[in-house]
């Protein structure tokens, strides 16, 4: 799913108060959200992806196993640690979501 498609889908979900029951497969959508959490588009990243994750996690939408997978993916070298340590490369950190996943509840 490209960023435009994801943004449109998340805006629709946002307009329905982030109701997960409006989404056929919330976990699959969450995996797409992870792919775009480093977006430079602040609306997509901050207002849609982060808020959707926070809302759905708070509502218990994901199973414990799904949350574990999301955490491991968020913390891998394609997300939180993407590009860190590469010489001559400016690194844009994907934002607070991956590190917030590690905070104890």
Asked whether residue 65 carries a pLDDT value surpassing 80, the answer given is yes
Give the pair of three-digit tokens for residue 83.
């590009």
Q: Taking all residues of the chain, what is their mean pLDDT, rounded to a whole number?
A: 81
Domains identified in the chain, total number: 1
The stretch 58-66 carries a mean pLDDT of 94
Q: How far is the C-alpha of 13 from the C-alpha of 8, rounded, in Å?
A: 9
What digits encode the pLDDT tens for the residues 6-48? 999 999 999 999 999 889 999 999 999 998 887 889 899 889 9
Q: What DSSP element (H or E) covers 9?
A: helix 3-15
Asked whether the beta carbons of 33 and 98 are under 8 A apart, the reply is no
88 located within any domain: yes
Asked whether residue 84 carries a pLDDT value surpassing 80, the answer given is no
pLDDT (0 to 100) of residue 9: 96
Asked whether the beta carbons of 49 and 39 are under 8 A apart, the reply is yes
Q: How far is the C-alpha of 81 from the C-alpha of 36, rounded, in Å?
A: 14
Report CA-CA distances (Å) from 57 to 25, 42, 66, 90, 96.
Answer: 15, 21, 10, 31, 15
105 located within any domain: no
Q: Provide the percentage of residues in the chain whose pLDDT is more than 70.
A: 71
93 located within any domain: yes
77 located within any domain: yes
Asked whether residue 66 carries a pLDDT value surpassing 60, the answer given is yes
16 located within any domain: yes
For residue 76, the SS3 value is coil
Residue 16, domain extent: 3-100
Q: How far is the C-alpha of 25 from the C-alpha of 22, rounded, in Å?
A: 9
């Amino acid at each position: 799913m490209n960023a435009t498609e994801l943004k449109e889908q998340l805006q629709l979900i946002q307009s329905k108060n982030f109701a997960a029951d409006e989404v056929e497969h919330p976990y699959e959508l969450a995996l797409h959200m992870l792919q775009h959490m480093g977006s430079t588009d602040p609306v997509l990243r901050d207002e849609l992806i982060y808020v959707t994750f926070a809302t759905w996690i708070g509502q218990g939408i994901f199973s414990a196993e799904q949350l574990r997978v999301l955490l491991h993916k968020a913390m891998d070298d394609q997300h939180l640690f993407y590009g860190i340590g590469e010489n001559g490369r400016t690194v844009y950190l994907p934002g607070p979501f991956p590190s917030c996943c590690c905070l104890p509840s």
